[in-house]
Structure 1
Amino acid sequence: MLNPDDSELLDIADLPEYAGIGVDARIRELVGSAFTAKEVARGLSVSASSVHRRRRHRALWGINHARTWRFPAAQFVVADGRPVRQVPGLEVVLKELPADLHPLSIDGFLHTPQPDLLVRDKLVSPLDWLRAGRPTRSVLTCAAALDWYG
């Protein structure tokens, strides 16, 4: 519990008293827009066991939420509201990220423009880079350069 002075400072800055509120809301948003294993299997024309095998081998990004696996939509090319294929090269990138990264760290990396990823003189995110058919190695270089735990 915050003392009244600290609480007032947070109110002035329009910040929540519990920083985790923002994290919780972002996780709910990420999970809420994710696909189930069954939806991924149907969209990719594979079995649900194949989806889970890919997740275990870190070729698909899954989030365990409320005892069920959800697969963030950002990793897929989506048509008519369903995944039709994984973003090319992403399976290689996912395998190279630290296995214990928080889902929001993965999401942040995939959506944040990186200094070494330039398309027409504009910084782009790893997902945009891969969607444009650019070399996976460049995204791997960006991921390797980050201090994930610093």
Structure 2
Amino acid sequence: MTLALETVLAKAGLRVTADEFLTLVEDVAKRLAPAHPEPATYFTPEQQVALTDVGLDLGGLREDDFEPRARELAARAVLLDSALTVSDAARVLDVDTSRIRHRLAAGRLAGWKDRGSWRLPAWQFTENGVLPGLETVLAAMPDDQPALVLAGFMTTPQPDLLLGDAPGTPRAWLLAGGDPRRVAALAAMLGTPA
């Protein structure tokens, strides 16, 4: 399994050994809330009746169900592994680390604290610096959205952002010179009911 995992990690461009990746996965799994095999326990008996009356199954996961936590766990591990430190970001942008911290505080770069140190998701950087239009997009993103949601949004094709004949990711749209206000309008909707 180690060789297969190392092959997958290399193809994904992750510079980490299989053992290091598995340690990351274990760490992320410990930080996630424990699985709740019985979703009905979240609701009062009255709420349970109302939810089952409209067709929701509160019976919990079956053996043949895909474990949704596994996908989230893998995404979190990759997000953490591919994130830049403040020093890494300073090298990419050719600025002092204090400028990176200032941009984080001003909302001009996205990041989160991990054990007291800033981590900056890689999707917001290019070979030449910062993703074009990033400040416009970040200003529109709701403050309550976690880094994993923002990363998912920026790297998932959106039907409103056509590149040629196909939906493009917000990141690809911005790299292609697309209007950042279109991405910002979509980003502003994160976390709101459809």
Does the 8 A contact of 1:31 with 1:63 survive in 2?
no
Q: Residue in 1 aligned with 2:73?
A: 24
Q: Residue in 2 aligned with 1:81?
A: none
What do the CA deviations read for 1:34-83 (whole angstroms, capped 9, x no partner)? 111001112211111110111111111112112211111111113xxxxx
Amino acid at match of 1:12: D
Larger proportion of strand: 1
Q: Are 1:135 and 2:184 matched, yes or no? A: no
Equivalenced residue count is 138
Q: Residue in 1 aligned with 2:143?
A: 99
Within-5 A mapping of 1:70-81: 70-78=119-127
Distance of 2:81 and 2:187 partners within structure 1: 26
TM-score, normalised by the number of residues in structure 2: 0.64
Does the 8 A contact of 1:63 with 1:103 survive in 2?
yes
TM-score, normalised by the number of residues in structure 1: 0.81
Question: 1:149: Cα distance to partner?
Answer: 3.9
Structure 2 unaligned regions, length at least 5: 1-35, 39-58
83, 86, 91: which one pairs with 2:130?
A: 86
Given the superposition, is the C-alpha separation of residues 75 and 147 from structure 1 closer, same or farther in structure 2, using an over 3 Å criterion?
Answer: closer
Question: 1:26: Cα distance to partner?
Answer: 1.7
Within-5 A mapping of 1:138-149: 138-144=182-188, 146=189, 148-149=191-192
Q: Superposition RMSD on alpha carbons, in Å?
A: 2.0
Given the superposition, is the C-alpha separation of residues 119 and 52 from structure 1 closer, same or farther in structure 2, using an over 3 Å criterion?
Answer: same
Does the 8 A contact of 1:75 with 1:86 survive in 2?
yes
Q: Residue in 1 aligned with 2:12?
A: none
Distance of 1:134 and 1:2 partners within structure 2: 44
Distance of 2:75 and 2:170 partners within structure 1: 20
Does the 8 A contact of 2:140 with 2:185 survive in 1?
no
3-state SS of paired residue (2:123)? helix
Does the 8 A contact of 2:142 with 2:190 survive in 1?
no
Q: Are 1:12 and 2:64 matched, yes or no? A: yes
Does the 8 A contact of 1:57 with 1:95 survive in 2?
no
Distance of 1:51 and 1:34 partners within structure 2: 14
Within-5 A mapping of 1:28-67: 28-67=77-116
